[in-house]
Amino acid sequence: MQKLDDVEDVKKLNEIKYDFITDLKPVYQTKKGLSRDVIEEMSREKKEPDWMKKIRLKAYEIFLSKPVPTWGPDLSELNFDDLTYYTRQEDRKANNWEDVPKEIKDTFDRLGVPEMEKKYLAGSVAQLQSEGVYSRLRKQWEDKGVIFMDMDSAVQKHPDIVREHFGKIVPPSDNKFAALNTAVWSGGSFLYVPSGVQLDLPVQAYFRMNSALEGQFERTLIIAEPDASVHYIEGCLPAEELVSKGDSLVPISSVGVSDNVVTHSGENSRVTRTFERPYDGTMMTFVPLSKGNSFKLTVEHPVLAIKRSSVSTERKPRNGWKSEVSTQKLITAKPDYVRAEQLEEGDFIVYVAPTESKDNEGMTPELLRVLGLYAAEGSVSYNKAIKTTVLAFSFGKSKKEKDLATELYDLLKSLGEQANLIKTAGGYYTVSSYSKKLIELCETHVGKGAAEKKLSKVLMELPPEKQRILLDNYLRGDGNVYVKRPFKSVMVRASTASKMLAFQLQEIIARNGTFANLSIRKGGDDTIVGRKIRRKDQFIVQYTEDKRHSQVRKAGNNFYVPIRKIIKEKFKDKVYNLEVSKQNSYLVKGFAVHNCTAPTYSQYSLHAAIVEVYVKKAAKVRYTSVQNWSDNIINGPTKRSWVEERGRMEWVQGSLGSKITMTYPSSILRGEYASTSNLNVALGVGPVWKDNGAKVVHAAPNTTSKIVAKSISGKGGMAVYRGQLRINPGAYNSKASVQCDALILDDMSKSNTYPHNEILEESASFSHEASVGKISEEQVDYLMSRGIREEDARSLIVLGFLDDVLKEIPLEYSIEFNKLVRLEMSKYGAVG
Amino acid sequence: MIPNVLSIKDLSVSVGEKEILKSVTITVKSGEIHALMGPNGTGKSTLAHTVVGSIRYKVNSGDLFLNDVNLRDLQVYERARAGLFVAFQEPVTVQGLRFLNYLRTAYSSLHPDEKLEYKKFVEEVKELLAFFGLDSSFADRGLNEGLSGGEKKRMEALQMLILRPKFIILDEIDSGLDVDALRVVSKAIARAKENGAGIIIITHYQRILDYIKPDFVHVLINGRIAESGNGDLAKLIEERGYEYYKGGEIDAKIG
Ligand SMILES: Nc1ncnc2c1ncn2[C@@H]1O[C@H](COP(=O)(O)OP(=O)(O)OP(=O)(O)O)[C@@H](O)[C@H]1O
Ligand SMILES: [Mg+2]
């Protein structure tokens, strides 16, 4: 047996003390080590019924009689007397962020986890702010008869159901860890889904459940009554939704890896992966105060927002609309991610003005004046008569317009360009030029054709002061600036046929400190003086310099914009999502949305959770977990399900980090036509041992199982697949397939497979495939020879290896997995 | 316009202990086509791999320049970014890495300043797949996964067109191609030439050279350039075989 301590790095890791408890004054904590007294004390402290205390004490006897497992990784360093078995729940999260080890903080930073989430994941704040949302959701479930609460409360409130199901699937006699858990369990989740109820457990609640579950000796019990189903939803955007790339907005479906997008802080960040999947469900349209910025999201997508209810005042609503808000409360409130579904009309979403800029010396104030006027009034056309391309600026008839035309004419002359000033037969003023240089400049930076105008990257990146020059000149033409009575407030209004230009102007105005409304005047057939014409859509950007009446509040480079309306509709098509390298967010039509999760971090050195899942007749449960523990953890949960007739159990498991992981989710197929699938991905890079696998027992005829296990080992890591498959005599026509693939990243690392297959029924069919592969230097060279960096090349190879399973797991998890794979692979980055 | 120049000068290379290339000199300018011929095992692929920059190929002496950029200072991916492309004799397989995904990553790595419009890009790839007589489903397959020999070669040629390199080395791109495929691949090479690329075609056969006439032909014998000449040399080689070079080397006529 390989001793992990042989690996140099483990020693270093062992020196890191993740012991937060020393600085804390826990309200209640049992003394170290385990005894009958400790267990009785604990049970008393929890005010448990007598039956639960008896279960605990009996399990303790069994624990004492069972040996520590000797197969698999070396567990000899585990000292059961050195653990604290019970700390009262409330105290556990109250750790100091300052005390979190630097390397964990660094990992969060490298992953770009937002501040609040970091603290949550590190256990230094009790709850995410979205907790309120979560409890509202729970109310909805309760109405359907769903019970979802922590396990301790369930023992108190639903003793009958708990007593009937607890410890039946995983009895304490199962193994030493199971006995230990049963004796000292604390926390975890209880989920009861009544007959016929379909529960879409949202991914956030799911994460919550998982993080609760993955406590030290947590206990989870899931009961899906006949015909019930449990699964969760993910968050994505429809294909045409526009995402900010800094200089322009593009459909999300067109965003590619390495593209830059703007994040919620206004900075640019690189897209590291893109996602696409079919979606059949509710699509939400958010119409903000600025209607032109309406955008669509799936119900689960987290949006950066401030709930109106959290910032409202007692004052009467104005305009007979939503309750009045306190400006003071609003500008000091911290926006947080809220699931799209939980947003209501009147809540505030966050428009972000990009902050990054890059000056360009060549863009002189003079040139910007010209380009501003061109964007508003200019056009380029080919004059057949003189066979030349002509640049023309069309002005009106007024004195002001004449002055403007003259000014432009002088300006072009002073720039040394050819120019003509013409008064047309109708009395309009026009400035034209044949200068090739000027034409090219206008076309490159502003484009041509009224509906296609679009400012170049160079212009969109200029510092706001310089963009202001462009904007001011754009607005100089007639009909753009009004003085409104009675307040004499100045209203600025720009109208364009180019959608892109409208968004860009809005962004430039925002970068200069003001939020402008964007609206669309629909085009269509119209009649003017008896003549039929076809109008194009007009995009109108407008703002008032007087902010007294604005419903939008500014905070730094953010603008809090109320939601005017929310529309829900059925949607069936592809949806998209992005993985962004820092900050985990991007802007949709200027508004910030989020989608990512990060590794969990635990202060305990041993985790031995138990999960029992009852899948009753024709019920369906999918249980997904991605564990990513810090490297000092020994994690050995026991997860098992009983699947009755026609029931289906799906296990999806991803395991990263942690020193030793031993987990083998099991399904016992007890009823005819029951089925199960088990997807298992383990990534063991560094001095870690991943001992993962699956267990299936076919105990009834016509049952089906499928196991897919993928492991990756690198930097001295060990990845083991340990499977047990048994088809009992009499389980006629059952089918089972096992596929396990291993990828080894370097010569220091190892992989092993231990399949135990017992096929005791002749009419059953069974297949087993296994493969072990290595990343070859030729593969890396090949990808690098096409311009791809070494670490990216390795990530691509690893992700390719995982492709068929990543498709199966929920998007959030697969994004997280992706990120972590990249992070792990960055350890391979070539130096020099 | 000043042409780009790829200059391989007095290059000596060993693999492991064994010296394979001995003082090889070839200068390629943009728009030129060079053919590199020679018996099995004389070091043609070694030259390709050395230019790519694989660390397994050790340069003992000599220079490798793209214009005034010393390629020897650059890592493999940086050389590619400088404008180099090699179609390998035996392209590798990467299971599960979808071709389109890979190609897009490569493209944006090679052309970081360019905005890649994904939809257009996909269309372009599909058009090219059709051009090469390959089914559009190849875009979603794992890189070279389950492809036949000839299909792999066509996929290499496709990448050559999409990635728009300045210099191209095609290591036996013609081997394993059927007649029709040979014709399209030749067309692709002609197109790359029109786009201004300088190209070295490593080949054993006159066949491909009938489609694309090389400006220069070099014969590599035992790691040395035994003879260089114009396009007609290829025919001569076919007639007289490599036996001709046994015993002594002919002075290079063109450098
Ligand atoms: N990695 C390696 N390890 C050991 N020897 C090698 C290696 N690579 C190449 N060689 C040797 O170097 C010599 C030149 O090989 P290379 O592949 O360059 O030949 P080639 O001219 O391309 O031949 P062919 O026409 O058969 O493709 C051969 O003798 C080969 O065995
Ligand atoms: Mg070769």
Tens digit of each residue's pLDDT (9 = 90 or more) over B203-245: 998 889 999 999 999 999 999 999 899 888 888 888 888 888 8
pLDDT at residue number A315: 63
pLDDT at residue number A625: 73
Please say whether the beta carbons of B147 and B157 come within 8 A.
no
Sign of CA dihedral A435, A436, A437, A443: positive
Angstrom distance (rounded) from CA A366 to CA A381: 23
Nearest residue (by CA) to ligand 1, atom 2, is: B15
Contacts of B56 in chain A (CB under 8 A): 777
Nearest residue (by CA) to ligand 1, atom 28, is: B41
**DSSP codes of every residue in A783-797:** HHTTT--HHHHHHHH
How much of chain B is in helix, strand and coil states, percent to nearest 5?
40, 30, 30
Predicted model pTM = 0.62
CA distances (Å), origin A181, targets A62, A166, A220, B211: 11, 12, 11, 75
DSSP-derived pairing of the beta strands A489-496 and A517-521: unpaired
DSSP 8-state symbol, A124? S
- Partnered with residue A657 across adjacent β-strands are A629
Q: Check if A23 contacts B (Cβ < 8 Å).
A: no
Which of A664, A810, A789 lies closest to A231, judged by CA?
A: A810
- Whether the predicted pLDDT of B253 surpasses 80: no
With residue A287 as reference, give the H or E element that holds it: strand A268-288
- Partnered with residue A481 across adjacent β-strands are A492
Q: Which of A185-189, B44-48, B59-63 is the least confident region?
A: A185-189
pLDDT at residue number A809: 66
Angstrom distance (rounded) from CA A369 to CA A377: 12
Which ligand has an atom closest to residue B14 CA? 1
Buried b (16+ CB within 10 A) or exposed e, A767-777: eeeeeeeebee
Please say whether the beta carbons of B29 and B42 come within 8 A.
no
Please say whether the beta carbons of A798 and A714 come within 8 A.
no
pLDDT at residue number A25: 33
Q: Which two tokens stand for residue B44?
A: 């043609």
Nearest residue (by CA) to ligand 1, atom 26, is: B40
Reported as half-sphere exposure (CB side, CA atoms, 13 A), residue B28 has a value of 29
Task: List pLDDT tens digits, range B120-132.
Answer: 899 999 999 999 9
Q: Which of A182-186, A715-719, B134-138, B246-250 is the least confident region?
A: B246-250
Please say whether the beta carbons of A124 and A93 come within 8 A.
yes
Please report the beta strands in B146-238, taking only residues with DSSP state E, as ranges in sequence order: 167-171, 198-202, 216-221, 224-229
Which of A598, A754, A573 lies closest to A662, judged by CA?
A: A754
pLDDT at residue number B238: 82
- Partnered with residue A496 across adjacent β-strands are A539
Burial class (CB within 10 angstroms; exposed 0-12, middle 13-18, buried 19+) of B65: middle
The answer for B 183-242 residues in CB contact with A (under 8 A) is none
Q: Which two tokens stand for residue B91?
A: 């392209």
* Closest-CA distance of chain B to residue A446, Å: 16
Sequence-distant (6+) residues with CB within 8 A of A635 are A214, A607, A627, A629, A655, A658, A660, A661, A662, A663
Using most ligand atoms within 8 A of CB, pick from B12, B13, B19, B46 the residue to mutate for ligand 1: B46
CB pair distance less than 8 Å for B116 and A777: no
CA angle A243, A248, A250 (to 5 degrees): 40
DSSP 8-state symbol, A54? H
Over residues B27-32, mean pLDDT: 95
Angstrom distance (rounded) from CA A77 to CA A226: 45
Angstrom distance (rounded) from CA A811 to CA A577: 8
Examine the predicted complex and report whether its ipTM is higher than 0.90: yes
Residue positions counted in chain A: 832
3-state secondary structure A688-746: CEEEEEEEEEECCCCCEEEEEEEEEEECCCEEEEEEEEEECCCCCCCEEEEEEEEEECC
With residue A625 as reference, give the H or E element that holds it: strand A620-629
Sequence-distant (6+) residues with CB within 8 A of B239 are none
pLDDT at residue number A642: 96
Angstrom distance (rounded) from CA A289 to CA A302: 20
Please say whether the beta carbons of B94 and A783 come within 8 A.
yes
Q: Which two tokens stand for residue A409?
A: 């004419």
Residue B56 CB less than 6 A away from ligand 1: yes
Q: Count of H helices and E strands in chain B?
A: 8, 12
pLDDT at residue number A188: 74
CB pair distance less than 8 Å for B81 and A787: yes
CB pair distance less than 8 Å for A787 and B80: yes
Through-space distance between the first and last CA atoms of chain B, rounded to whole angstroms: 23
Residue B203 CB less than 6 A away from ligand 1: no
Mean pLDDT by 10 residues, chain A (832 residues): 33 26 38 81 90 96 84 67 57 48 55 50 40 53 81 91 95 89 85 85 42 60 89 52 70 73 78 69 86 82 83 64 73 79 88 87 92 88 83 86 91 90 86 91 88 88 92 77 63 84 90 88 66 74 71 85 90 76 71 51 62 92 70 75 94 74 90 94 81 93 95 87 92 94 88 90 92 89 94 89 77 64 64 30
Please report the beta strands in chain B, taking only residues with DSSP state E, as ranges in sequence order: 5-15, 18-29, 33-37, 57-66, 69-70, 84-87, 94-98, 142-143, 167-171, 198-202, 216-221, 224-229
Angstrom distance (rounded) from CA A485 to CA A546: 12
The answer for A 767-796 residues in CB contact with B (under 8 A) is 773, 776-779, 781-790, 792-793, 796
Which of A85, A88, A213 lies closest to A610, judged by CA?
A: A213
Q: Check if A509 contacts B (Cβ < 8 Å).
A: no
The label of the residue with tokens 């955008």 reads A295
- A715 vs B178 pLDDT, higher one: B178
Angstrom distance (rounded) from CA B106 to CA A787: 6
Q: Which two tokens stand for residue B83?
A: 């404008």
Sequence-distant (6+) residues with CB within 8 A of A139 are none
